[in-house]
Amino acid sequence: MRKSPLPRAEKLSANPTDAERVPRGQRRRRETRSRLLEAALRLMAEKGVEGVAINEITEAADVGFGSFYNHFESKEAIFAALVDLLFEQFGDALDRLVRGVADPAEVISVCVRHTLLRARSEPVWGQFLLRAGFSGRAFEPGLGQRLLRDIENGVKAKRFPADDVLMMWMSANGTIRAAMELELQFGSSPTEMKRLGFSAEGLAERTAAAVLRILGLDQAEAEGIARRPPPSIGPELPSADTTIRRGAVV
């Protein structure tokens, strides 16, 4: 899989001589925007968009209140920027990852598993996805829209039954969301899950299998597809913090 060229910001940071050529004011603007985005991500992951005020973001970022409006028109604008940066890039990486996968069921399995594994490795990213999950911004142009597209592709290919696609999407989406909540709540303490009488082992694969069963596959086939070794997403997908720093270049 061909790597996309690094954004100019990363090229600059890799070469101190070039970095010195960037005007100080421009560097400061980038740093301020990055700090605002990072602060908003953590606060909105914890409290949701409605629960966060602009002054909380600026205080957490250690930035003057008035500086916020040099970068974003509103709280909704910084939320939209985060959704575009974090979820669109992740969704694009998933699209590249499954480009050579012919089976629509395996496409969905790979994407479900990688989404849950990303939430496990970056809980703040996962919590933000849960908070933003049913907003029009995130689940129309974002990951939810991609899931709907993949289900429709499977129906067109006669891989899934031509049932009520909306209900299929809602059921699959709800299963993924519930699995992410479990992962974020119990992923770091599997003993707590055991105390409740459940096992968190292989949660990503089990979720993928459950989604495929919702879409019409029988249990044996769904579990077989979900256990296939998934393609590695590789170093193309940076962490949320790195994504934000790159996205701060305006």
Residues near 172 by Cβ (< 8 Å), separated by ≥ 6? 108, 147, 151, 211, 214, 215
Residue 239 lies in a domain: yes
First-residue to last-residue Cα distance in the chain: 28
Give residue 249's pLDDT.
Answer: 54
What average pLDDT does the segment 28-48 reach?
92
The average confidence (pLDDT) of the chain is 82
- Cα-based distances in Å from 40 to 58, 76, 77, 158, 208: 9, 11, 11, 43, 31
Confidence category of residue 142, pLDDT binned at 50, 70, 90: low
Residue 88 lies in a domain: yes
What pLDDT digit, counting tens, does each position of 7-26 carry? 333 333 444 444 456 677 67
The domain tally of the chain equals: 1
**Minimal CA–CA distance to 182: which of 151, 206, 150, 162?**
206
Residue 113 lies in a domain: yes
What pLDDT digit, counting tens, does each position of 58-110 carry? 999 999 999 999 999 999 999 989 988 888 888 888 898 898 899 999 999 99
pTM of the model: 0.78
Give residue 182's pLDDT.
Answer: 87
CATH at residue 132? 1.10.357.10
With a cut of 50, say whether residue 236 has pLDDT above it.
Answer: yes
Residue 10 lies in a domain: no
Domain interval for residue 120: 23-247
With a cut of 90, say whether residue 113 has pLDDT above it.
Answer: yes
Residue 154 lies in a domain: yes
Residue 6 lies in a domain: no
Give residue 5's pLDDT.
Answer: 39
Residue 131 lies in a domain: yes
